[in-house]
Amino acid sequence: MKYFFLVIGLVVIISGCITPEEKNNFEDLCRKDGNQWMDMKEMVNGNFISESCFGCMSEDGMNHFCKMEDYAEYMKDHMKQDFGMMNHMMVHEPIKAHAGTNNEVEVGMYKVERFEPPTDLPRIGFKITQMESGNPISSLDIVHEKIMHLIVVSKNLNYFEHIHPEEGSGSFVVSHLYPSSSEYKMWIDFTIDGQQYLVDFQDKLGDYKIPSSVEDKLYGLIVGFEKPKEIKLGKTYELQFKVSDSQGQSKITEKFLAATAHLIDIDETLEVFAHNHDENFDRDDTISFQHIFTKKGNHRLWVQFLKDQKERIAVFDVLVV
C-alpha cells in the first residue's frame, strides 16, 4: 500500500541521534513486518519541525515511529493477534555493529573489544564494557546452552568454525587456531538482559593462502537438500534437509545446542550473517528451517546437528535473486 505522508494531524516521534547501523536495523525490521519504511520531514499538526526524518509507518497508515523501541512497544501492545510469532522476532531483533579490522567497536550501550590473551596457546578474547560507567560486563544470558557464540569463516567460506568463548576474570576467551594464512571474518553473538547483540571483526593473516576446499564433517552421513527452484529476496522459505546413512535413514535423537539443528547463512561478500534454528525436536530424519534471505547473490549454508554424540556439518550453496 502507498501512503500520502503529508497528513494533517499526524504526530511523529522525534528520533534524536541514531547511528547508521541502528537505522539499518530499524529499516530491516520494519520491512520484515510488512510495514512501510520512509524518509520524510517531521511535522506536528501540519507544520514541519525538522529538516529530515526516517521511520516506520504502520500498515494502516495511522502510526509513524522514528524510534525502534517505540515501534517495538506499539507492535507488542497493539498488534499481537495480527503478528503472532513475528512480534516475538521483532522484540528480539539483534543490535549489530561492524568493527572491520579495528579491535573495538560500540554496539548499543556497550563497547566490545577483541584482544589476544597473554598466553602461548592460540586464543581469542573479548571484553564487553558498559560505555556510560566503564564497568565490565561478565554476566551474559545463556542462549542455546552457551553465553556466547563465535562463528569464524575464511574469505572464500571454505573454512568454518562455530565455537563458544567462556567467561573468566571479566572477559570471554576461547581456544582457536587458524588453519592457514588467509583473510577471515568472525561474528560474536551474545545476549544481555534479553537483548541480542551481533558484532563482527575481520582478521588478515599472511599471504592469504585460503583453504581450497570444504572439509567433510558429515563423517559418513548424507544430507539431502531439495533446493527451491528460485529463491527470492525477502520471502520466507521452508528449507528442508533429510539425513540418511548407508541404510537410507538416520533419525536425529540428540539435540545440538538446545535445538534439533542450527543453520548459519553467510553471503559471498561476508556482509550478511544469519543464525537460525530448528526448534521442533520430533526425532525424525528431517531438519527444517523457516528462513528469510536478506541479500541478493550467492550464499553458503551450514547445517549443524548431532549424531552419535558427534557434531555433523552439511554445507550447501544457494543463489538469491
HSE of 185, CA atoms in CB hemisphere, 13 A:
19
Give the closest residue to 169 by CA, choosing from 133, 118, 244. 118
Give the pLDDT mean for 43-61: 59
Give the closest residue to 159 by CA, choosing from 105, 203, 100, 221. 203
User: Is the model's pTM score more than 0.75?
Assistant: no
Per-residue model confidence as pLDDT tens digits over 181-224: 778 999 999 999 999 999 999 987 655 566 678 889 999 999 99
Q: Considering only residues 290 and 169, tell me which one the structure prediction assigns the higher pLDDT.
A: 290
Cell of 60: 494502516
Distance separating alpha carbons of residues 210 and 178, to the nearest angstrom: 11
Look at residue 110 in the predicted model and tell me its pLDDT: 97
Distance separating alpha carbons of residues 26 and 69, to the nearest angstrom: 9
Angle at 31 between CA 241 and CA 266, to 5 degrees: 40
Task: Name the band, by pLDDT with cuts 50, 70 and 90, for residue 89.
Answer: very low
Cell of 178: 587458524
Structural domains for the chain: 20-91 (no CATH), 95-204 (2.60.40), 222-320 (2.60.40.150)
Look at residue 8 in the predicted model and tell me its pLDDT: 28
Q: Considering only residues 21 and 54, tell me which one the structure prediction assigns the higher pLDDT.
A: 54
Distance separating alpha carbons of residues 23 and 306, to the nearest angstrom: 38
Q: Please check the confidence at residue 72 and state whether its pLDDT lies above 60.
A: yes
Per-residue model confidence as pLDDT tens digits over 267-284: 999 999 999 999 999 999
Distance separating alpha carbons of residues 74 and 229, to the nearest angstrom: 37
Q: 318 — alpha (psi -120 to 50), left (phi > 0) or beta? A: beta
Identify residue 320 by its one-letter amino acid code: V
Look at residue 128 in the predicted model and tell me its pLDDT: 97
